[in-house]
Every structure is written in C-alpha cells, then in structure tokens.
Structure 1
Amino acid sequence: MKRPGLFALAVLVILLLTSLLLNSLQPRTARLEAMERGLDTFENAQHLLRRDVISVRAGILQSFDPLVRDITALDAALKPLEATGDQDHDRLIQRLRASAARQAALTETLKSNSALLQNSLAYFSTLSANADRLANPNAEEARLSAAMLRLTLNTSPDTQALVDRRVRDLAARPTQSKVDREAREVLLSHARLLRRLLPQTDQDLAKLLAEDDNESRARLRAWIAQERSKAEQTAQRYRYALYAAALILTLLIADLALRLGAHLADLRRRAAFEHDLAAISAEIIAARPHEAKGRIDEGLARLAAHVEGDAAFLFGEGVYGCARMWPTMPRTQRGDWSTSAKALAEAAQASPHSVFNGYADWPWRDDSEQTARRAHVVAMAVSNERGERCVLGFARFRGAVQVRETDLGVMRLALDVLAGAVRRARLEQQRVALESRLQHAGRMEAIGAFASGIAHNFNNILSAIGGYAEMAAAREATARSRARYLREITGAVARARRLVDQILAYGARSPLPLQRVDLSRLVAESISLLRAAHGRRARFAFDQDGGDHSVLGDSEGLQQIVMNLASNAVQAMGGAGVVKISLYRRSNRAPVELSSGVLMAGDYVVLRVEDQGAGMSQATLARIFEPFFTTRAQGNGLGLATTAETARELGGAVSVWSEPGQGAVFEVWLPRQAQAPSPEALTCGRGETVLVIGPGNSALGRDEERLAALGYEPVGFVEPARALSALRDWPERFDAIAVRTEDEDVIVALRRANPDLGLVVIAEASGASVKPLRALAASLGNCSLAACPLSSADLAKLMIDAINRPRASAARQVGPSVSKPGSVEALGGRSA
C-alpha cells in the first residue's frame, strides 16, 4: 500500500476511535435532561403561582409582580419541551402548554377581580371607620357589613343569600336626608359588586388550583426515564465496541511488532551477511596467488555459517576452473565429485533465478558411510558467454538450509565474488607465467646487447694490448721503447679492470634500502670532491631555491649521479670552465616522456647540471643512455647509463637538451616520495583492447604476448592497411594503439584515423631513425615513442599513460618542435 493510502486509513481509524470514545463517554441524554429540568421548573413555577394567587386572595400579597414572574417562569419552563417525534408524547406536551395557557388566563382574571375587590373592601373598611358620618346610623348597615365580612371569608350560597337580604333590607329603609341617600347608594353599589365578584373569584381560584395535569407530567417523566435508559444502553454498546477495537488494534500492533522484529532480524542477518561478504571479498583480493585457495575455503566456511549449512562447495569450468569443498573431504573419501556438481549446476540453471532449492545426494561422504548422504541443498549457478559455469552450493543434513528470498541477491553477489576471485587467480597465474617468460626473453635480449657492448670495448682494449705487444716484441725496438710499450699495455689492462669493475657494479644492481637524503647537503659535499679532483681550472656554481630538497633514495647512488654529470660536464669543456649546478622543486601534473623514460605525475626535486661545452648532436643524444656507448676514447659508456638506471629505480627520469656548440643541460627528476614501481607489482590493465601492428608474425606475436601478460586484450595486424580499415570501421572497439615501425607515414595515418586514442610507437634502437621519430612523436597529440630494448615495466607505463591521458580533441599539426628540458612545454604540464 502506498503512503497516501496508509495515511487515509490511519485518519479513518482515528476518526472511528474518536467517535466510539465520545459516544461511550457522553450518552445522548442532554435533550432528555433539559426536558426533565423543564418539567421540574414547570412544577415549581406552578406551585409558586398557586401560593401567590392564594396570598392575593387572602389579602396578604398587595402587589401583582410575583404573579407576573410566576407566569413568565411557567412559560419559560415549557420551552425545553420540544417535539419528540412521538405523537402520544407530543400530545402530552401540548396538553401541558394548554394547561399553562389556562392558568395564565385565570391568573389574569384573578388579578382584575382582585383589584376590584380590594377597592370595594377598602371602601367598606373606610365606611366602618367613619360610621359616625352617617346622619342616621342604624342597625341595617352594621348587619350588611357583618354579612359582607362573612362573604369575604365564606362564599357559600347561604352566605350569599344572607348578603342579598341585607342588601334588600338596606335598600328598603327610607332615608331622611340626601347625604344619607347618597351614602347608602354607594354602599349598596360596593355591596352588590362584592356580592358578585367574591363568589366568582373563589370559583376562578378553585379552577386555577384544580388546573394541574399530573398525569401528563408523570407520563413524560416515565418516557424521559425510558429514553435515558436506552441512551445508557447505547453508550454501553459503544464502550464494548471501543474495547473490541482496542483489542483488535492491540493484536494488530502485536502482529506488526512481530513482523517488524522478524524483518529487523532479517535485516541484521542480511547486514551481517553482506559485511562478511565484503570482508571475504577484501581478503580474497588482497591475497597472494598461493593464498587464494585457503581464502576461498575460509569464505565458504563463513558463508555456510550464515545459512546454517553443514557443508559448502564451489565448482567451476573453464575460466572458473575450481573445485573447492568445505569441510575438506577425508583422504579416503576424496574422489571426482564434479559429476554431482555439474548436475546441481544444470538443475540450478533450469530453476527460476538460476537457484536450485531442494533435496539431492551430497557428494561428500563421512567416515561411517560409504554412500552419498541425502541433504537439503541450495545451489546457485552463473555462466559466461562461452557456456562455462560456476556453481556455489550449501547443504544441510538435518534440517533445511536457511536461505530466504531476500538472501538470494547476497548469495548471487557471493557467487560473483568467489567466481571473480577464481578467475583473477587463474589470470594471475597466466600473467605470472607470461611475465616470467617475457622477463627471461628480456634478460636474454639485454644479455645480447650487453655482450655486444662488452665485446666491442674489450676488442678495442685487446687490439691496443696486441699492437703494443707486437711493437715491444719487434727486434728493432729499443729498451726505452719497449718500456713505453709495456706501460701502455699496463694502462690498457688497468682500463680493462676498471671496465670489468663497472660492468660488475652495473650488472649486480639490486634494490637498496631507501632513506631520506638531503640533496642540498649531498651536492655541497660532491662539489668539494669535484674541486679537488679537477683543479682550479674547473669551477662549480651552485644555486637552489628555498625549501626542502630531500628525496627518498640511496646516498651513494645519488652522489654517483652528481659526480658523473659534473665530471662529464668538465670533460665536455676540455677541463676548464664553469659548471652550473642547481636544485629546485617542481610538480608534474600529467605523465610525460623525458629522454630516459616516462615521468609520472607527482612532486619532484630537479637536479640541473649545465655546461658550456661542445654540445652533442641528435644522433649522440639518441644513444647516450645505452650501456658502453661513448664518444671519448677513454670512456666506457656506463656513467650516463648508471645515472638513468638509478633515477628509474627511484621513480624518476633524466631529461637532456643539447645543441652542437651550445653546451648541454642535464636534468635529473627525483620524486620527493618513493614512486618507483617494484618489479613484482607492475601496473596492469583491466582488459582494455589494444590495436597492435607488427612488422612480422614473430614480432607481432611477442608484442601480443607481452600486452596480454600486462592485462590487455591485443588485436594484432601485420598489414597497416588492414589495421587502418579496422580502426575506421570500429573506432570505439579500441582503447589504445601500439605500433612497431619506423615508417612515419604509417604513424601519421594512424594518428589521423583516430586522434583521440593513445598511440605508442616502438622503434628499433638506431641513431639514424630515433631522432626524426622522436620529433614526430613530440609533434603529434597523445603519442609516445619507446626505443628497444623495452622492459615490461616501461611498456606498462607507456600503455597506462596512453589509455589514461586526456584524449586530444584534434590532432596537432605535424612538425618538429624542440624545447629545452627546463621549460613547461617539455614537462607536459605546469610547475607548481
């Protein structure tokens, strides 16, 4: 259910509970109570009205205001008595209203008659007080007053007849004066009025006192009591309904709490499963090749514990080739259980979600049984595009494997992790094997070049020794000349010994423990040694920028770099001149190819050695880092080779700029922190596709093997035309280009076919060809040049640089451009 529906349901439940609560706490009796209070008020007002009317008749109450209040209260008491919808009870209310109206009318009549009576009675009272004013007082008037007094107290017919006789007697008595006659007439008028009003007033009072509808009020009270009882019963039913609703909600909340608890337990279990899976994945990735099997077994045990399994296995075919089972089978029971594993894999692939969940014969046997055990098995399979399968299974012999629907995703992830680990282990084994073969081939190639250089230098030394020996053995040679010849032979032998020592030092280079070395202090010490070695004609100027110039390296090797470069500078100037040595810090933001190799991005300390000697040609610059290449008769060609090798081991490189007649500038870039890649941990690819072009099937095969060992997928071509066609037809297929050629037209055509791909040009080491190719590579965008012999580490750096370097938006204009190594253009980035 969506959130709006849940919200609406919650609102309805709240409204229902509120209605039940209100109806249970407040029964609908307000109207009944108002009617009952109206009846009480009506009765009270009626009693007060009777009391006040009697008081007025008795002469106690002289004012009529209480009667007005009583009539008003009587009318107000009838207002709450509204229609009930029941005809019988509505007729009772109408009878009460009619009774109240009659009482009001009688009260008005009594008020009027009482006013007249009080006036006449007042006259008789005054007449009695002034009886002496009558001219002829007699007994008739006294008898009339006495009769009238009796009528006031008793309006019976006898009293009325007595009053009538007294009135006739008084009227029949003759009068003697006019005053007596007038007084008698007034007295008779009041007597006749009292005679008429007093009986009528008593009758009206009797009617008013008799006007009391007790039956209607009693029946209304009974109906009100009955309706109140019904309201209480209805309220009680609402209370029961509220109680039932509370019970239902309590049960629902308890069920929801149980569900939430179970869901929370599932989430915790899943989180623990995923956490263990992440730890297993990290351990497998960090494991060395020989540790992979043990880590996979540990992972199987931990995964089986999560699903409460008694056993687990991982079986794969092809690239997933693996057969691991936990717990390990006893030696007496080990056998080929691949058939059972394949059957489980096929059953899993045929099931929904590629998961088999049921009972099967588990292939592992314990010591007490000779047949496969029946177990509940949960197995999941995965396959690649070639149909090679990998299956992960768990078994429980008593009970069921605890794998829920929510665990299937984590289980599939576990299978991917283990299958990927197996695949990586196999690829790593293949890579190590290929790397071993490539390293062997590289060593053999280096040994060949090394032996060629040694033979050339030793041939020169042996030729000199042989020539001087022949001249010393000649008959015409004098003793003085023979001594000179022997000294030359001794010098040649010394040169040969020094050459052997340097060869041994160069060939026996091994990684030394690195330490923090202050280049400023090291250069200062080296300059002192250089001044003592070269005399006063050679001068050394040292300059440095502010800051720390410490690097990680070997102090002896770094001092050898300074001594080699400075000594070569002095010799290039003929032993006299100024050698400028400087130190400064630079930051390289992108990989760049320098003279001796690729310089990675990072922070560096640059050692710069500049002389004003004869300079070097481009042909010489192309070979100065080759072992045993030298332009001096007394040189051995190992100084600059050693310098370049030491810089490479420390993660740096050497840059050279020189022009004939303009001297030379050497810059050694040394990282401020160790960046040298170890031979055992080459930076490999991740399956990127590389277009490879070779001059022949043999060379192409070697290049493909080296690239495959580095983690790339090579696609080789011998004919450049076919490679260009494939590059144009499917440009997104390739991630980089590697070509072994010296044909500039082929290089330019490849660059124009796809300017965005990194291009690595591999050229043979010949002075005549490297120079124009280097210039061409520098002029093209995203292009690197590598000269043979090329190590796997250098090839790995070049491929990583070619793939990761930001692709150029368009090819640069073809043309040579030369920059000094100290400039920003030569570094491929800006300095810090």
Structure 2
Amino acid sequence: MIGVTCVLALLTWLLLNGLNFNSVRYDRQLQALGDFTRFERAMTREVLTARVGLSRNYDKLVQMTDAYDDALTRLRETPGLNAEETRAIDVLSARALRQEDLVERFKSRNALLQNSFAYFGLFSDKLAESDQRALVTAASALAAAMLRLTLDTSDVVARQVQGRLEELALVQTPPQDMDSVRALLMHGEMLHDLLPDIDTIVKTLVAESNNREQDAVLALITRRQLASRASARRVRLLQFMTSLLLLCGVVYFGLLLHRRAVTLRRRAAFEHVMAGISMRFIDSSRERITADVETALQQLAGCIGADRAYFVGATGTTTSTYRWSRDGIAFEPGWPDRALSLAPRFDSGEGGIVYIPKVKAAHPDDTMNLLEDAGVGGWLCVTAVRGHRDEILGFDTVPAGALAYWSEVSLFRMAFDAIGNAIRRVRLEGEKERLQASLQQARRMETLGTFASGIAHNFNNIVGAILGYAEIAEARIRSGGRPAGSLAEIRRAGERARELVEQILGFGRRGEGRRERVCVRTLIDETRSLLAASLPSHVQFEVNESAEEATVMGEPAQLQQVI
C-alpha cells in the first residue's frame, strides 16, 4: 500500500510539473509588457499629434496614459516574480513615471501654446491691416520668424524671433494699434519661450520611448520561460521514462500473472486427471488393474509431453512392471526394469523426485550415459520418500525432444501414491482372497473330517462285527483247509479296515497316527493280495521286487494307501 501511494504521489508530481502552469504566468507577463510598449508608443504618437495641432483635446491621450498605467500594474502584480525581475520592473516604472510627467508638462504647455498661437494669429492679422507700413512690415517679419520657430526651435531661430520682437517693440505705433501690438508682443514672447520648451519635452519623450528597459524585462521573462519549458521538458521526459518503467512493470506482472494462470490451469487440469484416476482406482479389480494403470500412465504422460511412462514395483523377488508408450515408440531392452536400480544413483532431493528436462552426458563416466543408452531424452522419476523404496514412477521422452518444463512436478507424487496404493490394494485384496479360499478349504476339510469321523465310528462297528464273526467261524472249522484260509483273509482284511478306520478317525482328530517298523516286502505282498481280490478278472497285476530287504518307520495303513 505504501508503494502504491508513493507511485501515485510521484505521478501526480510529474503531472503537475509536466503541465507547466507557469506558461500562463509568462504569457500574462508578455502580454502586459507588450501592452506597455504599445500604449507607450501610442501615447508618444498622440503627443506628436497634439504638437502639430491635429488633436483638439487630450481625451485619447488620457485613455492611453491610463492603459499605460494599467499594463505596468499588471506587469508588477504578476505572481512569482524574482528579485531580478522586480528590479527590472522598478526601472521600467521609474521611466514610466518620467514619461507621464513629461506628458503632463506637455499637455499644460501645449494648451498655452495653442492658445498663444490663436491670439498671435489674430493680432498678426489685425496689424497686417494697419495703415502704418513700418508696423505691418515688423509684424509680418515677426510672423515669418515665428513660423520658422515652429519648425526649428534652435537657438539661432529663437534669437531671430527675439530680434523681431524687439524691432516690433521699437516701431512707432498709432494709438489705435497699441493694444494689438502689446498683445502680439506678449503672445510672441510666450511662444518664444513655449516652443523650445515643448520641443524639448517632445524630444525627451521620444528619446525616453526606447525599448531598452522593456528588452531587459523581456529578456528576464524569456529566460525564465525557456528555463521553465526546459524543466517541463525534463519532467515530461522523466514522466515518459517513469511511464515506460510502469508499463514494463505492468507487462512483467502481467506475464507473471499469465504464467501463474497457466500454472493454475495446468494444476487444475492435473488435479482433474488425478481425480479421474483416483475414481477409476476405487473400483479397480485384479483383472482391470493393468489396464487402469496403463490408462493412468497415458493421461499423466500427456500432462508433460512424455513419450513413455511406466510404474515399476518389486515385491520380494517378483517385479511388477506397468508401461505405456506412444505409437511407434518402443522401450529399449531391459528398460524400464533397470530404472528401479538406476534411480538411487541420481540426486532426488527431499521430494524424492529426479527431474532431468534434457538428458546430456558431460563426460564418458557420467551416469547420464545410462539414460542415453536407454533412449531417454528427458526423464522424470518419482521415488518413494519413505517406505516402499522398491517402487518408481517414470516418464521418458525419446532423444528427439526434451521433457516439457513444469514447475509443479511435485504433483506427480500424488500420482505415484495413487498408483502405488492401488496396486498394493489390489495385491492385498488378491492375498485376502487367497487366504479366504484357504480358510474355506480348511473349513471344508474340517467338516469332511467331522463327517468322516462319524462314518468311521459306524464303519468301525461293522468291521468289529465282521472280525468277531470271522473269529467265531474260524474257531468252529478245521484249520489248514480252504475255508480256514478264506476266513484268515477275511480277518486280515478286517484288521486292515480297522486300521483304515483308525486313520480316518486320526484325520478327523488331526493327530498323528501310531508308527512302527514295517517290512516293505511284507507290506507289498499284503497289498497285492488285497488288490488282486478287488481287481476285475481282465486286469493283470504285476509287482517287480528287489532282492534287498527294506524296513521303514510308519503307519502300516497309511503306507498301504500310498502303495
């Protein structure tokens, strides 16, 4: 907020200084100075006009004097005057006072002059009608000399006028013309004094009406105006440079915002992909896990422009590999299985992510050579940070291009965890199903044992009856005969049946049977006799016996079942 306030203050200051408000003041000064010079010249012109008698009154001269004073007042009251300008205007004011004083003197004397001229002409005309020739001649000579004095007020002409006045005073004047001569002499004397004085005033007025003081003031005003314009130009240049800097700043921050927006869009797209992958893995089964992982790898590879993607996990001695590649791009032999052992050789940092946008070996012993041998141009490998360190998620580009730069590569750890968790979940579900099947089998075997135990008890009763009746019959017949042999076989089969029943009962109890030393040959002979009696007549039964006697430890009934 403070920075924004400072920038606004700087721009406001540059704006106010760049507008150059002083130009209006300088324009007013120049206008007032111009009016002062113009009215001064007009005032001098009116004085000359009045001097030659073309102006009958001084109204216009008074207007010019008032305008002259007003221009000087406006010039003096201009705000922002410095000491040098004030001194120059004071000099100009002093000259203006002298000019106005000269004008006032001119007005008073010129009024007398015009009045004297009128009376001088009147009395000259009257004397010109006189009968006395000397008087007429003296009056005419005075009038001619006075005419020259009006045109030339030099001392020579003034002395000539003075001489004509004296000559007229010496002429014998008749009584009737005496008053006219005295009046003519009086006005002639007055004109003799006024004409040089008025011409001196006019000459002084004209001489004073130069532009020396105005030029000095004008030079000061112009210098300050040029300095102000130069300062305004510098301020405008600074304002332009500041605007360029602000524009560059706006463009820079715009690019940052655009880059941030692109990053956010890519992150949103990636999170959308991750959401789809996670939703797919929720319902993934053991039959579909391979297809789902390959689809997830394809979608993730599209986020960074990878050509190949894979997930490799090792469980004990078993390695599970899921892979995807673009059409026309194959995996090198042994890749990506070798990536599982290659990833720890690169610095993955705290995030467990190896990110190499473009693979390029620096020397022959560089580990990058192993990636180049596998046809990897760019590599992104996500390894486990803790636990399950035998799993990696990798993305490759072929040497024709480099892996697209993306600062949010850490988001691929989400993909790594999602895929790894899904595979482990499916593996655990498979193990659960196997254990459940084993449990069901064990339960079936337990049920079968219980059922077999029940049958064995009943069958044991039957076998007991058979053995009992066989012993009774055997006791009632003569030994050595054929019936006695048959009864012996019946009794022996019954005993084997009893042993089988005990074995079934032992299976139901899940205990170990009774073990004893058994002769293998004798066991084979008994089994042969039992099988010979139970086989059909068209089946021949042959036994190949060895000459060696063999004795084993075991349960005779179980060994007989094996045979």
Distance in 1, Cα, partners of 2:218 & 2:368: 88
Distance in 1, Cα, partners of 2:158 & 2:367: 132
Aligned pairs for 1:350-749 (under 5 A) are: 351-357=349-355, 377-382=379-384, 390-396=391-397, 398=399, 400-402=402-404, 404-408=406-410, 410-433=411-434
Distance in 1, Cα, partners of 2:330 & 2:376: 18
Distance in 1, Cα, partners of 2:13 & 2:433: 75
**Which residue does 2:118 correspond to in 1?**
122
Aligned pairs for 1:29-428 (under 5 A) are: 30=24, 32-78=26-72, 79-80=74-75, 93-127=89-123, 140=135, 143-144=138-139, 147=142, 149-150=146-147, 151-168=149-166, 186-218=183-215, 259-316=256-313, 323-327=320-324, 337=337, 341=340, 344=343, 351-357=349-355, 377-382=379-384, 390-396=391-397, 398=399, 400-402=402-404, 404-408=406-410, 410-428=411-429
User: Structure 1 residues 376, 237: closer, same or farther in 2, change over 3 A?
Assistant: same
Matched-pair contact (CA < 8 Å) for 1:376–1:401: yes
Superposed displacement of residue 55, structure 1:
1.8
Distance in 1, Cα, partners of 2:13 & 2:412: 46
**Which residue does 1:689 correspond to in 2?**
none
Distance in 2, Cα, partners of 1:331 & 1:32: 84
Residue identity in the other structure for 1:200: D
* Unpaired runs of at least 5, structure 1: 448-832
Superposed displacement of residue 27, structure 1:
9.5
Superposed displacement of residue 120, structure 1:
2.9
Distance in 1, Cα, partners of 2:445 & 2:133: 182
Residue identity in the other structure for 1:351: G
Distance in 2, Cα, partners of 1:106 & 1:381: 108
User: Structure 1 residues 99, 19: closer, same or farther in 2, change over 3 A?
Assistant: closer
Q: TM-score normalised to the size of structure 1? A: 0.42
Distance in 2, Cα, partners of 1:133 & 1:333: 152
Distance in 2, Cα, partners of 1:419 & 1:159: 132
Superposed displacement of residue 402, structure 1:
3.7
Superposed displacement of residue 256, structure 1:
5.2
Matched-pair contact (CA < 8 Å) for 1:314–1:391: yes
Superposed displacement of residue 109, structure 1:
0.4
Residue identity in the other structure for 1:425: V
Superposed displacement of residue 146, structure 1:
6.0
Matched-pair contact (CA < 8 Å) for 1:311–1:395: yes
**Which residue does 1:786 correspond to in 2?**
none
Distance in 1, Cα, partners of 2:71 & 2:330: 105
Superposed displacement of residue 94, structure 1:
4.7
Superposed displacement of residue 290, structure 1:
1.6
User: Structure 1 residues 191, 331: closer, same or farther in 2, change over 3 A?
Assistant: closer
Distance in 2, Cα, partners of 1:331 & 1:197: 127
Superposed displacement of residue 416, structure 1:
2.4
Distance in 2, Cα, partners of 1:182 & 1:146: 19
User: Structure 1 residues 442, 376: closer, same or farther in 2, change over 3 A?
Assistant: same
Matched-pair contact (CA < 8 Å) for 2:383–2:389: no
Q: Deviations over 1:552-599 (max 9, x none)?
A: xxxxxxxxxxxxxxxxxxxxxxxxxxxxxxxxxxxxxxxxxxxxxxxx
Distance in 2, Cα, partners of 1:336 & 1:165: 141
Superposed displacement of residue 93, structure 1:
4.8
Matched-pair contact (CA < 8 Å) for 1:345–1:380: no
Task: Using CA pairs under 8 Å that are at least 6 residues apart, name the structure with larger relative contact order, 1 or 2.
Answer: 2
Bigger shift: 392-401 or 202-211?
A: 392-401
Distance in 2, Cα, partners of 1:44 & 1:165: 43
Matched-pair contact (CA < 8 Å) for 1:318–1:388: no
Distance in 2, Cα, partners of 1:45 & 1:388: 103
Matched-pair contact (CA < 8 Å) for 1:322–1:422: no
Q: Percent identity?
A: 26
Superposed displacement of residue 201, structure 1:
1.4
Matched-pair contact (CA < 8 Å) for 2:113–2:195: yes
User: Structure 1 residues 411, 59: closer, same or farther in 2, change over 3 A?
Assistant: same
Q: Deviations over 1:403-442 (max 9, x none)?
A: 633231x212212221232233234335545666788899
* Unpaired runs of at least 5, structure 2: 360-365, 449-563
Superposed displacement of residue 144, structure 1:
4.3
Matched-pair contact (CA < 8 Å) for 2:135–2:173: no
Distance in 1, Cα, partners of 2:374 & 2:236: 66
Q: Deviations over 1:251-293 (max 9, x none)?
A: 5565555555544443443333222222222222233332112
Matched-pair contact (CA < 8 Å) for 1:52–1:67: yes
Superposed displacement of residue 71, structure 1:
2.3
Return the index of the structure with the highest Cα Rg: 2
**Which residue does 2:544 correspond to in 1?**
none
CA RMSD of aligned residues (A): 5.1
Superposed displacement of residue 197, structure 1:
1.9
Structure with bigger strand share is 1
Q: Deviations over 1:76-107 (max 9, x none)?
A: 444437797585x7766554433322221111
Matched-pair contact (CA < 8 Å) for 2:340–2:391: no
Residues matched between the structures, number: 430
Matched-pair contact (CA < 8 Å) for 2:379–2:403: yes
Residue identity in the other structure for 2:343: L
Q: Secondary structure at the match of 2:422?
A: helix
Q: Secondary structure at the match of 1:80?
A: helix
Distance in 1, Cα, partners of 2:330 & 2:164: 151
